[in-house]
Amino acid sequence: MAEASWGSFGDLPAELPALPSPAHMEAFLQALHRADPTHLDAELAPLFPPLPGLKVEVKVVANGFPVWGDMYVRRFSLRDGSQVEDEQGRLVILLNACLVAGRSYGETSEAQAAGAMNVLRHEVFHICYGTLRERDPRHTQDSALTPAESLLLTTQNEGMGHFLADQAKLRAKGFPAERAERALKDLEAALLAIRQGKATPKLLLDANQGPFWSKYAAISGMLFAYGVDRAQGAEGLKASLREGPAALVRRYMEAADRLPELPKPGPEVVAWSKALAGLR
């Protein structure tokens, strides 16, 4: 499913961050080669039904856009010898080596490469998730989603992606209680605003944009995935993908009934998951 290669995508951004030294970059790239992303196939494949024909390209670049993107997914086609963004093109994960090697993934090249693999797991999950939805005849086109539906899909897609990226740390140390409470509170408020017709574009964007812990839908979804994993293991996560995004919330609520350390969602979240139980 994964293919690692090198290339150049996009233009250099107008505002360049502090770049790592050439020696550090070389050491990071060597460590990245040793890490080998193809092992992610075996980790993620059991969560999904067979997705025949899916191929994920991983391109390691020293530029790319946007400047803040350590790693992200785009579709590209080759035109006149240049890579061009194309909604009908092939799926490509861009790993911006200058940013990953210069950010807080660890002090050593090996630690940074390991951190990059965690983020790559997240991005590969997104591609598998999107492919699963596209191939399900029941799925709703993104352009037809209501704000509440879009928020539910974001909660599952981003939440499970974040959990899978950080699963080792979360299983070892648990989910930060204050972060969990805050995310659920913000999700509850957003759903109330949507129901009352008061949701602003910024409120909806904040669900998955901005500082990591402020992304209330992504963090709530990560909590839901963590709780399901605690109570039901990988089979619970797999079932929630098969059953649809509302199932992740429902299964988390079942887990919270069994495990007192898991905070329970509020009434807006409960009603939301029930109302959209058929969403795919």
In whole angstroms, how far apart are CA 240 and each of 57, 134, 188, 219?
26, 17, 21, 17
Q: Does residue 280 lie in a domain region?
A: no
Indicate if 104 and 179 belong to the same structural domain. no
Last residue of a domain, one of 135, 159, 174: 135
> 109 lies in which domain range?
2-135
Indicate if 71 and 52 belong to the same structural domain. yes
Indicate if 249 and 124 belong to the same structural domain. no
Last residue of a domain, one of 86, 102, 135: 135
Indicate if 228 and 164 belong to the same structural domain. yes
Indicate if 109 and 214 belong to the same structural domain. no
For residue range 151-174, list pLDDT tens digits in order.
999 999 999 999 999 999 999 999
Indicate if 228 and 251 belong to the same structural domain. yes
Residue 65's pLDDT is 55
Q: Are 135 and 200 in contact (CB under 8 A)?
A: no
Task: Measure CA of the first residue to CA of the last residue in the chain; give whole Å.
Answer: 24
Low-confidence ranges of the chain (pLDDT < 70): 1-17, 63-68
Residue 106's pLDDT is 84
Residue 13's pLDDT is 57
User: Could you give the number of structural domains in the chain?
Assistant: 2
Q: Does residue 242 lie in a domain region?
A: yes
- Say how far apart CA 189 and CA 222 lie, in whole Å: 18
Indicate if 123 and 7 belong to the same structural domain. yes
Q: Tokens standing for 141?
A: 């086109």
Q: Does residue 95 lie in a domain region?
A: yes
Last residue of a domain, one of 103, 135, 167: 135
Indicate if 152 and 102 belong to the same structural domain. no
Indicate if 148 and 168 belong to the same structural domain. yes
pTM summary value = 0.89
Residue 89's pLDDT is 87
Q: What is the CATH number of the domain that holds 63?
A: 3.30.2010
For residue range 28-85, list pLDDT tens digits in order.
999 998 998 888 988 999 999 999 999 888 888 876 555 567 888 888 898 998 888 8
Q: Does residue 196 lie in a domain region?
A: yes
Indicate if 206 and 243 belong to the same structural domain. yes
Indicate if 111 and 148 belong to the same structural domain. no
Cis ω for the linkage preceding 66 (within 30 of 0)? yes
- Say how far apart CA 42 and CA 23 lie, in whole Å: 33
Indicate if 122 and 175 belong to the same structural domain. no
